[in-house]
Structure 1
Amino acid sequence: MIKGHCLCGEVQFETKVTPRGVSMCHCGQCRRQSGGIWSSAYVADSDLTITGEVRWYASSPDARRGFCPACGSFLFWKANTEDTISFALGAVNNPTGLQLEKHIFVANKGDYYHIADGLPQEEY
């Protein structure tokens, strides 16, 4: 089981299934919201239990981002047309047992760092 929570603990989440798509997102929105690279994984909506109030922000016509209204932790990313939800790996309690699979949106990454881990890099 994977469990996680926001900085203040008001929002908690858990899943009993193994998440997929373990990645680091380098897009401009994730960088601005998280202050850096946002690492995440996803599960089916029905496989993630969330407790506490989540505030949702429509960051584009295609997706929304969920955060804790008390401490501001950026916890979730949800495409409007998919039945999956991504959650922040930085908010997960260790150990996760997960391995990073890829980097995404590297065409938008900051110019102040290099990706040198040898994992696949998707432009978008």
Structure 2
Amino acid sequence: MTLRGRCLCGACGLRVEGEASAASACHCTMCRKSSGHVRASARAPEESVTIEGPVTWFAASESAERGFCPGCGASMVWRGHGEGMVSFALGCLDGDTGLRLEKHIFTADKGDDHEIADGLPQS
């Protein structure tokens, strides 16, 4: 499987070769602030993800960084230091992906503007 995606302005892109997994909706405070709401993403091994263009990396915490487009500000990727995996935003992918959300994470930080009612596991 090959997934491709771009930021809003098209300056940055990504390509994922092989299997992606763990599609989740993250409700943590950092994802809410960087995306404007819930951040839906999936994961793939770092060596299978190619990031194209002038992505800027932001040290979001001592253990992880977020990659975004310096032009339009689109939040595209997240990687934890030493994990060997990259999480990529489902919203930046082009076309059908075959991926489905599997779970909601960091729901204790969820905003009060919505309810989670899809029946997926929550942690």
TM range (shorter): over 0.9
Residue 2 (structure 1) aligns with? 3
Q: Distance in 1 between matches of 2:46 and 2:17?
A: 12
Note the alpha carbon deviations across 1:71-122, whole angstroms, 9 max, x for none.
1100011101210000000000120111110000000000111000000001
Superposition CA RMSD, Å: 0.7
Could you tell which deviates more after superposition, 11-20 or 96-105? 11-20
- SS of residue paired to 2:42: strand
Aligned pair 1:94/2:61, yes or no? Answer: no
Q: Distance in 2 between matches of 1:15 and 1:63?
A: 20
Residue 12 (structure 1) aligns with? 13
Identity rate, percent: 47
Residue 79 (structure 2) aligns with? 78
Note the alpha carbon deviations across 1:28-76, whole angstroms, 9 max, x for none.
1111111100000011110011110110111111101000011110001
Note the alpha carbon deviations across 1:8-34, whole angstroms, 9 max, x for none.
111111112121110000001111111
Q: Distance in 1 between matches of 2:17 and 2:60?
A: 28
TM-score between both structures, scaled by the size of structure 2: 0.97
Which structure 1 segments of 5+ residues have no match?
none
Residue 119 (structure 1) aligns with? 120
Residue 31 (structure 1) aligns with? 32
- SS of residue paired to 2:15: strand
**What is the number of residues matched between the two proteins?**
122
